[in-house]
Structure 1
Amino acid sequence: MRFTRALPGIMLWAAACACTTSNQNASNITLDTLQLLDQGRCLFRSMLPSDTAVQVLVCVFVVMTIISLLINGCTLCCLGSSEDLSWERRFALLKNLIVSDVLLIVTQGPTVIYCLLQKTTLPYGAWCVIQFFINTVCVFCTLFTITCMALERYLYVCQAMDYLSILTTRRLYLMVGFTWLISVCLTTIITVLLSLGHNNSLLGKPITGLLCEPDTLESHLGFPRAAAVFRKVAGLMVALLCIFSYSFSYLRMYQVARNAVQPFQRVNKRARNTVMFYCSMLLLQLLPIFLKIASDALWELEGNMAMIRSLDNPGGWTLAEILHILLLVTLQAPPCINPLIYGLRNKEVREALPRLLRWWRLNR
């Protein structure tokens, strides 16, 4: 009987203890979260000490993201709605390029805008790894697709008689599949090598950047040497392959066009202007790659600790931070200009756009 009478008191005491323990755990979790948030904001302020710079970057990323999605969406709809364009090889490759650009802009633009609005750096976690994986795949796929598009134009101009027999529909699909397969394989190897430096204690901690790009992720994981070397060598080789293929294709096309008018003692200005235009656009597209190569070289020459000394000197601009911001901005440029260069610049695509608008009005 005494035990039965004391039972309610014991139960109340146990409940009070459990409540106290849960409150303590909740307060500890809240304290840890606040500490991580403060750390992310301190890292953010070390990169962008000026509120004016933050507001300008927000406007830039919002405008470029919207423009990129609109231009890529309109171009893709034009290509998909036109039966005359859908069968052409170059526009099939352009669709592949647009898909890669849209994936890049969707995973990168909102992430950077969120960090700028919250004024904190990106925490290391599942989304960080996913965003790094998708962005790396898209960058590799874009380079391979641009290479294939240059080779396709070379076959069309210089091997016109054998164009359809060389670039069949089956080979075209294999080419598109190859661009994604090799990009996924290279990125998987890089991600696996990075995971060797993974530590559970790093989960949730903010990185020293607004995006999980290679330099910031490698610095957060303790600079795994194997991953850095493989990424730099693979990226350099793919970039050189793209430059070499592009230069060879358009120089050969220019030579063919010049030889066609040489007996008439005339200069093919249109061919020269076309080659100059596409080569200059290639340099603009590869600007993020050039910045990445320059950043990798500086990290190797100046040392890892020298490039992240902003942690010990908050409030000042460093070369690593400037390169990080420039890389984020220039990565937004290719998805904006690719549809203009390879899509809307073509007369066929421009003619298909009014038909698409009329179809949209009628269905509306």
Structure 2
Amino acid sequence: MELANRTTVEEFILLGFGGGHQKRFLLFSLFTILYMLTIAENVIIITLVLLDTRLARLPMYILLSNFSWLEMCYVTATVPRMLFDLASPDGTISFHACFFQFYVFFSLGSTECFFLSIMALDRYLAICHPLRYLQVMSPNSCYALMGASWILGFLWHIIPVTLISRLSFCGSNVIEHLLCDPGPILSLACQPLGNALFFCQMAMNSVVLGNFFFVVLSYAIVIVTLMKTSSQGNRRKAFSTVSFHLMVVTLFYGSVAGVYLIPGGESQSDLTKAVTVFYTAITPFLNPLIYCLRNEQVKEALGRLLRRRM
């Protein structure tokens, strides 16, 4: 972390959104509302699954309740820092805090990739192998898969983050972004980068592409199976559930692909920030609405809970 003149990088400056006081106030208000609604939605889902005995026995809702907890952690890793930067325009963040955010955010993102694969596996077993579904996706199996997702997600980026944190940073310490992302950080590092860039790209591409292809293959088999189903009622119900899952997968992988496929350069910084806001703040807000709050079983569970409380 030493510069050419032997000084040490102790902090970075996140440029954030920029703009005047009115723009920053509007963005602060918007993100505060989105964050509070996202937390409230996911708390409702977790509470319903914990209190409703019918939902608590079903593998899909065991997975969804843990996915809701993951979404709460995911949005908390970025949005509070965005709110702080909007309220405090200097945008300074310490070296260690920056890399801690980098590690936690990417670890949670990797965990979400694994979770989406588990949910695709759950739908594949439920629709393509219904007789074996409850045996294979038992509560113990669900907890084992979820635990493996968390462990793998937080192990996946240890080497890249460690290698990048040990690089030397030359000249400017200004990060042209909303958060500590590897691309803008690496652009500040002295050449050569060594193995840091290779391991970062390998870790990111393997977890994203590997899980993406697994999800696509699983849902392709599910759709082919549903097309062969003779019962119109069962086919319509299954297609409805699968369509919600596909919407969440599309939002997540579409926004992640968008931010990393955008060409570099100052002219693209605003677009990169907009896409980043979408997958860090807006997507976690939409996921509970798509996955659960439009689900008939969730609505029935919510009605039962409200009647008991009244």
- Which bin holds the TM-score, normalised by the shorter protein? 0.7 to 0.9
- 1:90 and 2:39 correspond: no
- Describe the shift of the 1:67–1:220 C-alpha distance in structure 2 as closer, same or farther (beyond 3 A): farther
Residue in 1 aligned with 2:246? 279
Q: Which of 268-277 and 178-187 deviates more?
A: 268-277
Q: Percent identity?
A: 22
- 1:64 and 2:34 correspond: yes
Residue in 1 aligned with 2:219? 250
Q: Aligned with 2:301: secondary structure? A: helix
In 1, distance between residues paired with 2:212 and 2:177?
29
In 2, distance between residues paired with 1:323 and 1:275?
30
Contact 2:160 2:203 in 1 (8 A): no
Q: Aligned with 2:167: secondary structure? A: coil
In 2, distance between residues paired with 1:162 and 1:125?
51
Q: Which of 61-70 and 119-128 deviates more?
A: 119-128
In 1, distance between residues paired with 2:242 and 2:96?
43
- Describe the shift of the 1:120–1:75 C-alpha distance in structure 2 as closer, same or farther (beyond 3 A): same
In 1, distance between residues paired with 2:64 and 2:174?
37
- 1:292 and 2:259 correspond: yes
- Describe the shift of the 1:329–1:248 C-alpha distance in structure 2 as closer, same or farther (beyond 3 A): closer
1:234 maps to a residue whose letter is: A
Q: Aligned with 2:179: secondary structure? A: coil
- 1:129 and 2:89 correspond: no
Give the CA deviation at 1:336. Answer: 1.2
- 1:163 and 2:133 correspond: yes
1:211 maps to a residue whose letter is: L
**Residue of 167, 178, 188 corresponding to 1:210:** 178
Contact 2:46 2:66 in 1 (8 A): no
After TM superposition, the structure 1 = structure 2 runs for residues 187-336 of structure 1, keeping only pairs within 5 Å, are 187-197=157-167, 207-222=175-190, 224-261=193-230, 275-295=242-262, 298-299=263-264, 307=265, 318-336=267-285
In 1, distance between residues paired with 2:83 and 2:240?
38
Contact 1:140 1:238 in 2 (8 A): yes
Give the CA deviation at 1:273. Answer: 5.8
In 2, distance between residues paired with 1:219 and 1:159?
49
In 1, distance between residues paired with 2:301 and 2:278?
31
Contact 2:38 2:284 in 1 (8 A): yes
Contact 1:207 1:216 in 2 (8 A): yes
Residue in 2 aligned with 1:149? 119
The structure whose Rg is larger is 1
**Residue of 73, 79, 83 corresponding to 2:43:** 73
- Describe the shift of the 1:332–1:287 C-alpha distance in structure 2 as closer, same or farther (beyond 3 A): farther
- Describe the shift of the 1:276–1:69 C-alpha distance in structure 2 as closer, same or farther (beyond 3 A): closer
Contact 2:177 2:184 in 1 (8 A): yes
Residue in 2 aligned with 1:342? 291
Contact 1:58 1:116 in 2 (8 A): yes
Give the CA deviation at 1:348. Answer: 1.9
In 2, distance between residues paired with 1:325 and 1:222?
28
Gaps of 5+ in 2: 1-9
- Describe the shift of the 1:115–1:125 C-alpha distance in structure 2 as closer, same or farther (beyond 3 A): same
When normalised by structure 1's length, the TM-score is 0.72
Contact 1:124 1:206 in 2 (8 A): no
In 2, distance between residues paired with 1:356 and 1:127?
41
Q: Deviations over 1:311-341 (max 9, x none)?
A: xxxxxxx213431343133321221122222
When the two chains are superposed, the root-mean-square deviation of aligned CA atoms in Å is 3.1
**Aligned residue-pair number:** 299
Gaps of 5+ in 1: 1-35, 300-306, 311-317
In 2, distance between residues paired with 1:255 and 1:124?
51
- Describe the shift of the 1:238–1:274 C-alpha distance in structure 2 as closer, same or farther (beyond 3 A): same
